[in-house]
Amino acid sequence: MKIGEERRDGALIVAPSGRVDSVSSSELERALVGHLGAGESRVVVDLAQVEYISSAGLRVLLMTAKKLKDADGRLVLCAMPESVRLVFELAGFVPIFAIEPTREAALDRLGESGA
C-alpha cells in the first residue's frame, strides 16, 4: 500500500492506494494517528486508488473520524470505487461517515463545517 498526501485549502488529503487489509491498515493507522497527533483537524481521505478494504481498514477510518470529532475536527471520505462502496454499505457504515463523490465536494463539505 502507498499513501499519498497533499494539502489544499488548509485541509490534509490522504490518499491510500492498493489493498487496505488487516496487514496494511496498520500503516494507514500510523500515518493518520501521526497527523492527528500533530494537530491536523480537517482531513479528507481519498479512496479512489483503493482496490480493497477490509473491516480492519474500516476500523482505522472509524477511529480517525471519532478522534477528529472529539477534537472538533472532521473527516470526509471521497471518491469511493464501487467495490469499496459496497463494503461500506454491507457493514452499515454509509450513514456513519461523511462521504462525497469528489475531492472538491469533500473540501467544500469541510469548508461548511469549518465556517
Partner 1 sequence: MSVDSLHLRIEPPGEDPYTYDSRSDSVVVGRSSTADVHVQDRYLSRQHARLFRQGDGWYVETLSAKSPTVLNGRAIGGPTRVAPGDVLRLAETVVRVAPPEGAASPAAWLEGSRIFRSAATMLAAAGGGAADPVALERQRSRLAAVNEVHRALAQPISLEALLGLVLDSAFAHLGPEEGALYLRRQDGELERAAFRRVPGLEGPPFQSRRLADEVVGRGLAALVQDASLDDRFAAAESILVSGVRSILAAPLLDSEGCLGMIVLHSRARVRQFSEEDLELLVSLAAAAALRIRNIALAEEVAERRLFERELALASEIQTGMLPKTFPECPEVEIAAALQPARLVGGDLYDVVVVGGRLWFLVGDVAGKGVGAALFMAVTRTLFRAIVPTAASLEDAASRINAELARDNDKAMFVTAFLGALDLATGQLDYVNAGHPPPPRLGHDGSVETVDAPPGPPLGAIPSHVYAPRRLGLRTGDGLLLYTDGVTEAENGRLEQFSSPRLEACLRDVARASPAEIVAAVIGSVRGFVGDNPPSDDLTLLVLRYRGPASGPPST
Query: Where do contacts with partner 1 occur on this chain (CB under 8 A)?
Result: 22, 25, 54-56, 58-60, 62-63, 66, 89-93, 95-96
Among the listed residues 83, 95, 76, 12, the one whose alpha carbon sits nearest the alpha carbon of residue 54? 83
Q: Which amino acid is at 104?
A: E
Measured from the CB of residue 43, what is the shortest distance to partner 1 in angstroms?
15
Rounded-to-integer distance, Cα 48 and Cα 79, Å: 5
Measured from the CB of residue 90, what is the shortest distance to partner 1 in angstroms?
6
Q: Name the residue nearer to partner 1 (CB basis): 21 or 105.
A: 21
Torsion, Cα 3 84 79 43, to 10 degrees, reads -50
Measured from the CB of residue 21, what is the shortest distance to partner 1 in angstroms?
8
